[in-house]
């Protein structure tokens, strides 16, 4: 086994070896190299284990759970029992780190000790249509220059988290999807913040999230064209990094009309604050009305994309 790393990364996955390799490659391509990547399969039955083993990299560890849980919480909780680094990050199997991500997040964490660090991101939505770069929509998300402070109603994907490992353990495990209306990741972040753990936002974009929920049977058909395109065009091609940011920022400005911004801010100010004061995640009411009870949103996403047993 390799020496104790400074940074540990937990990656939960289920039967997605066709895109898993892009996530792994984005970690291995980071400027900062003192890390371990703990990959936890949710009882994978495809060739995920062989995909990881093919790298022959001692920094990669693969564990495959004996029973499928159907969600990220169980693999992520298991991963936390295995990591050895002083700092902890997460990476969803369909997301990508930019080459500077770990270096910048580590510097921010050291400058803001005992805090959760969140980063800016570009969210790429995979639409139905031809499997080319033309069917992608780019949006700025996470921490942004326009909204640089943490608010629990704003989605901060786990791939953009960074913190001391001891802090993550102190905050406790992720809850199961059947226990929360919002996703387990957003529930965990909300509970950590409510417990008094400081949250610091870095507005520089350092991850790419690839949202596949609009693409029917995306995982069942094992498509990787969009991931390959994004990885080759925007992760390993440094000359196009600024183009990616410009696309995302322009789309966000074009689509976020004044009235939508005002209504959303009003909801956050009145309903969101009231729910937060009661210890309820501010998006609970909205998601319950849209999807139903605990776990309903994730189950709907799994049925549409084919990422379920």
Percentage of residues in the chain with pLDDT exceeding 90? 59
Dihedral sign for Cα atoms in the order 148, 285, 208, 126: negative
Query: In the chain, what are the domains?
Result: 7-305 (3.90.550.10)
Which residue has better confidence, 142 or 58?
Answer: 58
What number is the average pLDDT over the span 277-283? 91
Measured from the Cβ of residue 146, the count of other Cβ atoms closer than 10 Å reads: 12
Q: Is the pLDDT of residue 252 over 70?
A: no
pTM of the model: 0.91
DSSP H or E run through 211: strand 199-211
* CA neighbor of 219 nearest in space, from 46, 72, 103: 46
pLDDT value, residue 269: 75
What number is the average pLDDT over the span 292-296? 88
86-117 b/e (C-beta count within 10 Å ≥ 16 → b): ebbbbbbbbbbbbbebbebbbebbeeeeebbb
pLDDT by residue (tens digit) across 82-127?
999 999 999 999 999 999 999 999 999 999 999 999 999 999 987 7
- Average model confidence (pLDDT) across the chain: 88
pLDDT value, residue 193: 97
pLDDT value, residue 88: 98
Radius of gyration of the chain (CA): 18
How, if at all, do strands 7-13 and 35-41 pair? parallel
Measured from the Cβ of residue 220, the count of other Cβ atoms closer than 10 Å reads: 12
């Amino acid at each position: 086994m390799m020496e104790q790393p400074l940074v540990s990364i937990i990656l939960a996955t289920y039967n997605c070896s066709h895109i898993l390799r892009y996530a792994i490659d984005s970690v291995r391509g980071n400027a900062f190299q003192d890390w371990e990547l703990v990959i936890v399969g949710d009882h994978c039955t495809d060739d995920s284990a062989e995909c990881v083993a093919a790298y022959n990299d001692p920094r990669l560890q693969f564990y495959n759970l004996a029973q499928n849980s159907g969600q990220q919480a169980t693999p992520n909780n298991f991963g936390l029992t295995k990591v050895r680094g002083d700092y902890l990050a997460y990476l969803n199997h369909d997301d990508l780190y930019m080459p500077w991500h770990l270096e910048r997040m580590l510097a921010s964490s050291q400058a803001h000790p005992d805090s959760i660090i969140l980063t800016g991101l570009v969210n790429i939505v995979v639409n139905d249509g031809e499997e080319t770069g033309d069917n992608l929509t780019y949006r700025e998300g996470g921490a942004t220059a326009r909204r640089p402070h943490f608010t629990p109603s704003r989605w901060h994907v786990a791939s953009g988290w960074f913190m001391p490992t001891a802090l993550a353990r102190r905050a406790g495990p992720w809850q199961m999807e059947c226990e929360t209306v919002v996703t387990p990741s957003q529930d965990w972040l909300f509970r950590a913040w409510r417990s008094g753990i400081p949250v610091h936002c870095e507005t520089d974009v350092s991850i790419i999230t690839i949202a596949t929920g609009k693409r029917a049977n995306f995982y069942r058909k094992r498509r990787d064209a969009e991931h390959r395109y994004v990885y080759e065009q925007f992760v390993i091609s440094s000359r196009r990094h600024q183009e990616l940011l410009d696309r995302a920022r322009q789309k966000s400005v074009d689509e976020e009309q004044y009235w939508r911004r005002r209504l959303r801010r009003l909801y956050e100010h009145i309903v969101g604050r009231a729910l937060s004061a009661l210890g309820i995640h501010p998006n609970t009411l909205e998601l319950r009305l849209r999807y139903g009870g605990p776990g309903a949103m994730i189950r709907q996403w799994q049925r549409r994309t084919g990422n379920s047993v």
